[in-house]
Structure 1
Amino acid sequence: MERVVCEKRSYSKEFHSHQHEFGQFLFPLQGSLDIQTKWQELHLDPDHCFYLPPMSDHQYRSMDRNEFLILDIPLNYLPGDTGSMYMQLDEQWVSIRYLLLEEAGNPENRMSLISLARYVTTKLQQSSSPSIDYIHRHFMEPIRLETLAELEHYHPSYYSAWFKKKHGKSPKAYISELRLKEADHLLLSTEWSMSRISEELGFENSSSFTRWFVRHRGISPQQYRILKKG
């Protein structure tokens, strides 16, 4: 496929399986869709949208009355190696869906659809994944890998590899980096005791916080505070 296609489609109750050489956005308008890939199982409802990258084997079916807005995007419009994305329909994505619906009903205006498809792919690159949003909200609490994998609808055995490919580090390293930045901030911007800081960061006690900090910074948090504050 060499051209952008945007149209409404409906799906049957039987599982169908295929792959395609283009990227595909799925926006539910009515009903839901069950999608299975090698590493994901998800139930796509009207509050979410889903991007499926090229050459991704997948099965799909809908068990209810359904209608979907589908945007097929050729390879030459797509960014580099972008995996599947399951996204909440926020205000921006709702607006994008509305514009795509308008263009789907106006097949003569090809350039507008092409421009919109390019914008959608840019938005895809800028969108953060649900598990990243969760990490940033809860990084000072214990976070289970299974919880993060479930948010992306990935199997836990695949999630770590996907995360490292996308962010250049493991989930554990990413979370530690966020906690370390917060530790630096609290040490330098407050006069809090080590006990209070360790509690704020989710450590069991100040000793475990100090050991963790030394492992990452090479000096104790008390020494770090004195050194940085001069």
Structure 2
Amino acid sequence: MKTVNHVTCEKRSYTREFTSHQHEFGQFLFPLKGSLDIQTKLQEINLNPDYCFYIPPKLEHNYRSMDRNEFLILDIPIKYLPENTSDMYIRLDKQWGSIRYLLLEEAKSQESTSSLVDLTRYVTSKLQISKPLSIEYIHKHYKESIRLETLAKIEHYHPVYYSAWFKDKTGKSPKVYISELRLNEAKQLLISTGWSMSKISEELGFENSSSFTRWFVRCEGLPPQKFRILNNR
């Protein structure tokens, strides 16, 4: 098992042969060229330059690359990590792209370890605030019908494993999490608009106002019309 006592940021390449290991530090992988097949107990990921991946300490993983490849690797000692981090598959959006660029510059210069440590602290702080891709998807699509298989596929999990992973992340099942988002939005619409029940039910993705009303009563214990009256006094 590998250990690391200081932050390391460097370019690496990988072979076609599967290698299996774990380490006593956290690791970010930023693909620069090619892709990397990564297998954990619960996931199988083909990591390409549109994404990055965080591997927490002590997570057993297999990896290989079937093409010409180059990766920017950030090895992070435990002392810089939040407690109980878990693996994260992250879309390389504009912000993460900027982080990769800054890390590349640090890897080139290697002049000041303090600036690399400061940047690493910023990167690890995002482990606490970044939403996993499937949870981002839920927040964008919770008004629609969402299949568990769709969410599991986004995170590269089997649906059974995904449900356990999701509950560990949020403390709730996907069904309850989605229902709570819809309920909060329903309450907001009832209080802040004069929309009819039909308009609100359509906005939230229900077939009709009757199904919306039945659902609201199950969740809140009173009809939406009464909720509106009580909260608009």
TM range (shorter): over 0.9
Identify unmatched segments of 5+ residues in structure 1: none
Among 139, 144, 157, which residue is 1:141 paired with? Answer: 144
Greater shift in the superposed pair: 205-214 or 7-16: 205-214
Greater shift in the superposed pair: 80-89 or 181-190: 181-190
CA offset at residue 195 of structure 1? 2.3
Q: Partners in 2 of 1:71 and 1:190 — Cα distance?
A: 49
Q: Where in structure 1 do 4 or more consecutive aligned residues deviate above 6 Å?
A: none
CA offset at residue 192 of structure 1? 2.5
Q: Partners in 1 of 2:109 and 2:61 — Cα distance?
A: 30
CA offset at residue 188 of structure 1? 2.0
Among 149, 170, 173, which residue is 1:170 paired with? Answer: 173
**Counterpart amino acid of residue 187 in structure 1:** L
CA offset at residue 60 of structure 1? 0.7
Identify unmatched segments of 5+ residues in structure 2: none
1:229 aligned onto 2:225: no
CA offset at residue 199 of structure 1? 2.1
Greater shift in the superposed pair: 57-66 or 104-113: 104-113
Aligned to 1:62: 65
Among 210, 215, 226, which residue is 2:213 paired with? Answer: 210
Q: Partners in 1 of 2:101 and 2:203 — Cα distance?
A: 43
Secondary structure at the counterpart of residue 86 of structure 2: coil
Counting only pairs closer than 5 Å after superposition, residues 40-119 of structure 1 correspond to structure 2 as 40-119=43-122
- Cα RMSD (Å): 1.2
CA offset at residue 224 of structure 1? 0.9
Q: Partners in 1 of 2:105 and 2:185 — Cα distance?
A: 45
Q: Partners in 1 of 2:113 and 2:222 — Cα distance?
A: 61
Q: Percent identity?
A: 70
**Counterpart amino acid of residue 226 in structure 2:** Q
Secondary structure at the counterpart of residue 123 of structure 2: helix
